[in-house]
């Protein structure tokens, strides 16, 4: 998967178990399998710095996500996720939303970056100079 925001990429490894041991990734370790027309993705091994949204809500290193991508039509996917993170939330919760294929002739993933590093190496947000 390729995302506009900060050029993030995510691999979903199919039909293989999660590796054992201490690994921690920004986007977690994603392992997928097919359940009919639905891609089910189990995600663990987060690094504790993963954001859920631009408001700063985050996941801890103990988070566990189960995502379901249901292919309803060639241009429409229903996305559902169950979020479990006992270090942050009191109970698991779910959300669901539609994803639509962009079919415009000029549709593209844009080069979106909204962060810079100062001379001291600190991360700051805003336009680059």
Give residues with Cβ within 8 angstroms of 32, minimum separation 6.
12, 13, 14, 15, 39, 40, 41, 42
| 33-92 per-position pLDDT tens digit | 999 999 999 999 999 988 888 788 899 999 999 999 999 999 999 999 999 999 999 999
**Rounded percentage of the chain residues whose pLDDT exceeds 70:** 81
Give the pair of three-digit tokens for residue 70.
Answer: 């249901």
Choose among 1, 98, 100: nearest CA to 43: 1
Q: What's the CA gap between 116 and 125, in Å, rounded? A: 6
Give the pair of three-digit tokens for residue 62.
Answer: 């103990």
Query: Which phi and psi angles does 126 have, rounded to 5°?
Result: 140, 180
Predicted TM-score of the model (pTM): 0.79
């Amino acid at each position: 998967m390729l995302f506009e925001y900060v050029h993030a990429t995510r691999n979903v490894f199919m039909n293989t178990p999660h590796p054992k041991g201490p690994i921690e990734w920004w986007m977690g370790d994603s392992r997928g399998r097919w359940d009919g027309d639905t891609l089910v993705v189990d995600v663990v091994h987060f690094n504790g710095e993963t954001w859920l949204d631009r408001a700063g809500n985050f996941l801890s290193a103990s988070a566990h996500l189960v995502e379901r991508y249901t292919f309803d039509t060639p241009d429409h996917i229903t996305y559902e996720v169950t979020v479990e993170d006992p270090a942050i939330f009191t109970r698991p919760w779910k959300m669901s939303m539609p994803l639509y294929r962009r079919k415009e002739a000029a549709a593209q993933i844009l080069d979106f970056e909204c962060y810079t590093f100062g001379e001291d190496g600190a991360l700051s947000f805003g336009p680059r100079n």
